[in-house]
Every structure is written in C-alpha cells, then in structure tokens.
Amino acid sequence: MESSSHMASLPEDASDEHDHHHNHHQIHPDSAFASVPHRPPTKTSSEKYSPVDWSLYFDKEDDVTIPESNDVFHVYMAGSEGPVVFCLHGGGYSGLSFALAASKIKENARVVAMDLRGHGKSVTDNELDLSVETMCNDVLAVIKELYKDSTPAIIIVGHSMGGSIAVHVAARRSLPTIAGLVVVDVVEGTAMASLIHMQKILSSRMQHFSSIEKAIEWNVRGGSLRNIDSARVSIPATLKYDDSKKCYVHRTELEKTEQYWKGWYEGLSDKFLSCPVPKLLLLAGTDRLDRSLTIGQMQGKFQMIVVRHTGHAIQEDVPDEFATLIINFISRNRIGPHGVEIPGLRKPAFSKP
C-alpha cells in the first residue's frame, strides 16, 4: 500500500519516494569504484531479499472449509492461550502481513491471521467479490468453523481494507465474544478522498517480476514496506506465477474490484464509534481525523495512538512495537480468554455456563 499514511485506502506498493531507506552503498559495477580493495563479502541482492518461510513466526497453518460452499480460507495461527487476536490484512496483502508481530503477540495471546477472499492461499468461487458484506460473512464463517460453539474472546484487528471489515464485523454484533477492536491506519475521510487516485496508483505500480526476490526488493526499495524481514515473509504470498508471461504477477486483481471500494470506507467512522467494545485506532504519522472521529476522540470513545517512523503497514514496519501496543490494549481492557475479566471474580464475566 501507499506509504504516505493519509492515503490510507490506496492499494499497496504505490510510492517510490522512499528509496533513501536502503542501498545507498550499492556501487554500480561499471563505476570507477568497482575495483575498490576487498572487504568482507556483503550478502548478494538475491540472498538479502530471499523469501522466508511463515513457520519462523506462526506455529501452524490451516485450511478452513466453509460448509455448503466451495470456499476454503487459509489461516495462520500462533500461541496457545489467552484471547484470540484475529487479524485481517489490507487489500493486496495476505495474512502473513502479521507474521513478525504474531511471533511476539503469541507470548501473551493467541493469533489467527486469515487470507481474505481473493488473497494469499484462500480459494473461493468468486475471487473478485471484495464487497465488505461478503468479506464480513467470510470472516464470521471462518470464526464459526474454527471454534464451533465455544468461541473465545476475540480482539479483531484490521489493517486498511481489513480495518473496514473488522469494523463491520464488530458493528454487526452477531458475534458476542468480540471483546476489542483495533483499526490500523485507515480513516474514512482521507480514504474516501483518495479513492479517485486508486486506479492510477494501481496501474503505475510494477506489474511483473522476474523472481520473488525482485518483488521483495522492489517493495522494500520502493518504500511500500520498510522492514526487509517482514517483506521476505509477506511478499511471496501476494504473488502468483503467470505461465504465459513467464514471470510473477500480483495474486490479487485489485483493479477489477473498483465497484466495492467505496463500500469499504463509506460511513466507516460512525460505524467504528458505534461498536460496543473497547477500540484502538493506530495511525502512521498524523492522519487527519474526520469530524466524527474528532468528536468521538474528544468524548473519549476510543484510544488513538500515532506510531511514528512507519509507513502504511504499521504491523510490518515496526512489528515489535505493534505487538506491544496490541498486548497493552488487551491488558488495559482486562480481556481474558473468555471475555473481560473482573478482578476478584474467579470466573470470567462472560464465560458460557
């Protein structure tokens, strides 16, 4: 996604003004300095940007088949106790966007990150139906399949497009165990305003990659992801090999989903404020809050934290800080494995009889 945070709705990879983050020291082989004295070999480009397996960060992966459908959703899981931090990625990303953060959150809570429809390793009958309603239903169906009738306390976390889905899921109130809502770098006002630029940004991003390493390098050097360790695990899942073109292309055809974009963000602020659970809004840099959010913020209806020195994908760029913020949110709101834990009571307040 676009790295200047206030363009929160823009699909990934859009910016290239952050080239200064990396690689100033790479010397062109034809330059006069190419024959400098030997120093210890640095990693070659392909080693530096080589893919890293998810299993370094998550404990397991699984496919969740939705009954009476052909839809199979891929999930990554970490941790064995505590409430569930259920993570929804942004448009064009995958569940592995939360890999580095998950490896730290799992010390205090369980983590589940799913690949949304049309993304990652999930396979559905209609890969282009990215309407907020359909994606909401997908999330609720996956949670139902994973936990059947004993759903644990869930903190639903969503980045960008996933933030919109998280809000819609929480606002439906159909899942009584949702105990917290965390929205990452999306604000309705700025998102709606930037929709007109979205196709242009999608068409200007690099479309074809000769290798996975090149795609990882392009994302890091272009500034859309600032953390090479995260890019190495998250980017491969956002690509697919195109046999006819003999190269890698984007797994998700975001440019074909334009009819749904407005629905992701329209009315989002009021919906966010209406969710009857503790709420945290994480912003990269100083996004302008729109009117509803400004009033809600003044009334203390949600907690807001501006995370400095990060691009749009906060959870990838500063995963340790992100994980700490999530863990602090859980403990501050006393969310236990089954709901909010009231001090002095042995049994959690909301556990099922």
H or E stretch at 296: helix 291-298
- State the CB neighbour count (10 A cutoff) for residue 231: 25
Q: Which of 13, 71, 138, 185 is catalytic?
A: 185
Q: Which of 4, 160, 230, 292 is catalytic?
A: 160
Q: What does the alpha-carbon distance between residue 54 and residue 47 come to, in Å, rounded to a whole number?
A: 17
Residues whose CB is less than 8 angstroms from the CB of residue 136 and which lie 6 or more positions away in sequence, other chains included: 165, 168, 169, 172
Nearest to 86 by CA among 185, 180, 188: 180
Enter the DSSP assignment of 341. Answer: P
Confirm whether 185 is a catalytic residue.
yes
Which amino acid appears at position 32 of this protein?
Answer: A
Cβ-in-10-Å burial (0-12, 13-18, 19+) of 143 comes to: buried
| Three-state DSSP class for residue 246 | coil
H helices of 148-276, in order, are 161-172, 188-194, 198-204, 212-221, 228-234, 258-265, 268-274
Confirm whether 243 is a catalytic residue.
no
Cα atoms in the 13 Å half-sphere on the side-chain side of 259: 6
CA angle centred on 295, ends 186 and 333, rounded to 5°: 70
Bridge partner residues of 112 (DSSP): 77, 86
User: Do 51 and 233 meet the contact criterion of CB atoms below 8 Å apart?
Assistant: yes
In the block, tokens 């799992």 appear at: 106
Cβ-in-10-Å burial (0-12, 13-18, 19+) of 269 comes to: buried
Confirm whether 168 is a catalytic residue.
no
Q: What does the alpha-carbon distance between residue 258 and residue 130 come to, in Å, rounded to a whole number?
A: 9
Q: Which of 119, 168, 312, 338 is catalytic?
A: 312
Give catalytic residue positions.
160, 185, 312
